[in-house]
Amino acid sequence: MILLVNPRVTKARNRRFPLSVMSVGAALPVGVSWEILDGNLPHLDVLLAVGERIERGRAGGDPVTAIALTVMPGPQLVAAVHLTRGIRQAFPEVAIVWGGYFPTLYPEPVLRSGDVDYVVRGQGEQTFVELLEVLDGKREPASVAGLGWKENGAPRVNAERPWLGPDTFPTPPYDRIDVNAYLHPTFLGRRNGVYQSSIGCAYSCNFCGVISAYGSLQKFESPARTEANLAFLVERHGMDALHFYDNNFFARESRAEELCGRITRLNLRWWCEARIDVLLGYSEKTWETIRRSGLAMAFFGAESGSDERLRKMSKNLTTGQTRALAARMRGSGIVPEYSFVLGDPDDPEDDIATTLAFIRELKGINPELEVILYFYTPTPQRRGTYGGVDAVSTTPATLEEWLEPEWVDWMTHENPRVPWLSGALKARVDGFETVLKSRFPSLQDEKTARWGKVLGRILSRRRWETGDFDDPRLLRGVRRLARRAPPDRQEYGHLRPPSEGRR
């Protein structure tokens, strides 16, 4: 028996399909028994559930031989460490495996902890299958690409394996989860699901954690398979809204047109991530196909109001293209959602001033445009890091250090304590964001009472028009009083309203 564990990353009401462990489970050979334990489900004590499965396996002749956890930085890392330690203490004989984004970037601290036996880096389906052969004594760890382990007391990490496309592996095993337990209302619809039709990203932005973990590569699922899987969720489970988790949903125009044409019949309202320059180059015919397919909002990495800084980021984008797409999407029925990375280490004050002014300009071009602001936090890169910051030498060497509040904030971009970002600069951004969100309430903000949105729009008008963002106490008070629920910083990914924190 293999236990695939998705440690808690969010509050139960914000849970979404545990796609990573579903993918690994689907790839396991016939005859291997396995089960998913999702720590995001309500009322599930994962450590207790693990113990029950282990005892049941012993009694039934199908002992648990490995417990595999998927681990993202931030809250999930904290949950995973405590869970892993509990499992190790109670069941020292069972192999514990970590995979996912965090151990891919930082395998050595994980292996040094003494609580994790193996690390799976990069694409994990094949590596984990081969690891089972290692556990059975049929091969050596050194022969498994993407595997990390300890040898003679020291971490050893093999080179990652080449990626394979989604079509290489079985479809998501929805029969292994309670699908209805994961479909919840959002601004898109009553029963919002998630899906991923590609892996990776073909671009090379040198501030991006995806590129640092997996390199510049993207593999796509066939449109026919995507349509079939989504049709199952729509027809069998009543899914009416969807977030695509692809790092770049649109690539080749022909694929985009085919896929959007195929899913039009499903009557979904959906969200995705995309490149500004790519979508800007599509024909009007393809744009019309996309509109008919139900795309309601698209997330774009605009990143900066400076062409010079975009070049430093290796973004291969211009501010002119950012303006042009905002104009093209005005009145289209598709809301553009632009993200910006604030705080260039070389000149954070100028960077913030330039980008905030650019955002004001963009809102004049397209008032419907939504904005998400992140503070730049460096991550180790396969090549040069944006701003010339040597982040590799500054990250913790142990899991204990990673659990300290300073590093949890660093991983989540909530309040990165980096030397080039002063308290005054952070306050300036906070004031701007408060005025921005008051003047232009987000479509995704369903937790602020209508009266609060109306009053906020009125009270913020003069500040927005004059550019006065200094200490907007009144607007903060209105937003606080109008909250129907307290801010939730643990909502899942981009399903979180932008006004409730940075990822």
> Could you tell me if residue 175 is inside a domain?
no
228 and 370 both lie in a single domain: yes
Q: 375 φ, ψ to 5°?
A: -85, 140
What phi-psi label fits residue 193: left (phi over 0), alpha (psi between -120 and 50 degrees) or beta?
beta
The number of CA neighbours under 13 Å toward the Cβ of 381 is: 20
SS (H, E, C) 411-478: HHCCCCCCCCCCHHHHHHHHHHHHHHHHHCCCCCCCCECHHHHHHHHHHHHHHHHHCCCCCCHHHHHH
> DSSP class of residue 184?
B
153 and 194 both lie in a single domain: no
187 and 153 both lie in a single domain: no
| Domains contained in the chain, number | 3
229 and 129 both lie in a single domain: no
Contacts of 342 (CB under 8 A, 6+ apart): 348, 351, 352, 355, 373, 374, 375, 376, 429
387 and 443 both lie in a single domain: no
Both tokens assigned to 148: 């990390």
The gap from C-alpha 374 to its chain's centroid, in whole angstroms, comes to 14
The gap from C-alpha 207 to its chain's centroid, in whole angstroms, comes to 15
> Could you tell me if residue 131 is inside a domain?
yes
230 and 266 Cβ atoms separated by less than 8 Å:
yes
306 and 243 both lie in a single domain: yes
Per-residue pLDDT, 497 = 39
347, 380, 397 - which closes a domain: 397
216 and 142 both lie in a single domain: no
Per-residue pLDDT, 377 = 82
Type and span of the H or E element at 229: helix 223-237
Per-residue pLDDT, 201 = 84
> Could you tell me if residue 93 is inside a domain?
yes
CA angle 221, 224, 230 (to 5 degrees): 85
> Could you tell me if residue 413 is inside a domain?
no
Q: What is the CA radius of gyration of the chain?
A: 23
Q: What is the mean pLDDT of each run of 10 residues along the chain (503 residues)?
A: 95 91 96 96 93 92 95 92 96 96 93 96 95 96 97 93 93 96 94 94 76 77 97 98 94 94 98 96 96 97 96 93 97 96 93 97 97 84 52 73 86 79 94 97 91 96 96 95 69 43 33
> Could you tell me if residue 166 is inside a domain?
no
Helix/strand/coil percent split, the chain, to 5: 45, 15, 40
313 and 366 both lie in a single domain: yes
436 and 308 both lie in a single domain: no
CATH of the domain at 380: 3.80.30.20
246 and 387 both lie in a single domain: yes
473 and 348 both lie in a single domain: no
142, 157, 172 - which closes a domain: 157
Structural domain span for residue 485: 424-503
> Could you tell me if residue 341 is inside a domain?
yes
Distance separating alpha carbons of residues 340 and 376, to the nearest angstrom? 9
Three-state DSSP class for 22? helix
> Could you tell me if residue 177 is inside a domain?
no
CA 467, 468, 473, 478 dihedral sign is: negative
> Could you tell me if residue 408 is inside a domain?
no
195 and 322 both lie in a single domain: yes
397, 432, 456 - which closes a domain: 397
CATH of the domain at 42: 3.40.50.280
